[in-house]
Amino acid sequence: MKSMREVNLDTYSLSLLTAKEDILNPRSSTNWALFAYDGIMNRLKLADSGVGGLKELSTKLHHRLPLYGMCRVGTAQPCIVMILWVGNEVDEYRRAECASHLPAVRAFFKEVHIFLPARTLDEITEERICALAHNAAVVTKGPRVRPSRRMEDRQAIVGTNYKRTIAAAEIQRIQRDSFWAQAEVWSE
């Protein structure tokens, strides 16, 4: 049985990084890039890029190829999405091999907000991506807890038995205890 080969992000890293930075830059007109494998060597390279948004990117996806489409979606609060495209006619071995590349791809494109696996064009709509972005924002924000400012609350949260020692007071206490111990001995 053949072993799964790792993805190579080094060979074309300069073009990958440049395309990623163009999409992340809100002042850049480039808002999508398409990454493809270079032959059978699993070297990821920039295949195409453009300014037509998700609609234009969708026209570049091929039903026989595994591709990665990075796109800036939305205007007020732009969201960066990575479409993990594996067309319907990609064989099962290649699907599994591409799935094994996802951790490396996610690490390289760590600025991406949403990774969206897709096999059909119906799964890639701006409405769906915006809904996923909204749901992700709600989950990551969660209920906000205001930190307490009272000393008692902070000590309760920490859960420690630490007590500050003041040397002068400690010496006085030891001397007082020693005095009363001697007083008891003398009184006997």
Structure tokens, 85? 């495209």
The type of residue at 106 is: R
The CA distance from 63 to 96, in Å, is: 16
Domain that holds residue 86: 13-141
> What percentage of the chain carries pLDDT values higher than 70?
81
**pLDDT tens across 4-23, in order?**
689 999 999 999 999 999 99
Work out the average pLDDT over 45-67.
94
Are the beta carbons of 6 and 65 closer than 8 angstroms?
no
Q: How much is the pTM?
A: 0.70
- Same domain, residue pair 97 and 31: yes
Residue 181 lies in a domain: yes
- Same domain, residue pair 81 and 117: yes
Sheet holding 79-86, edge to edge: 43-50, 32-38, 66-73, 79-86, 114-118
- Same domain, residue pair 108 and 29: yes
Sign of the four-CA dihedral 57, 27, 134, 44: positive
CA neighbor of 72 nearest in space, from 119, 130, 16, 123: 130
Q: Pick from 141, 164, 179: which residue ends a domain?
A: 141
The CA distance from 26 to 45, in Å, is: 23
The CA distance from 68 to 33, in Å, is: 8
Per mean pLDDT, which of 37-46, 125-134, 179-188 is the most reliable?
Answer: 37-46
Are the beta carbons of 107 and 72 closer than 8 angstroms?
no
Pick 109 or 136 by higher pLDDT. Answer: 109
Q: How far is CA 88 from CA 61, 95, 187, in A?
A: 11, 10, 99
**pLDDT tens across 99-110, in order?**
999 999 999 999
- Same domain, residue pair 180 and 136: no
- The backbone torsions φ and ψ at residue 31, rounded to the nearest 5 degrees and listed phi first, read -125, 5
> Count of domains in the chain?
2
The CA distance from 64 to 29, in Å, is: 29
Q: Residue 35 sits in a domain of what CATH number? A: 3.40.20.10
Q: What is the pLDDT of residue 188?
A: 65
- The backbone torsions φ and ψ at residue 125, rounded to the nearest 5 degrees and listed phi first, read -130, 150
- Same domain, residue pair 128 and 158: no
Residue 7 lies in a domain: no
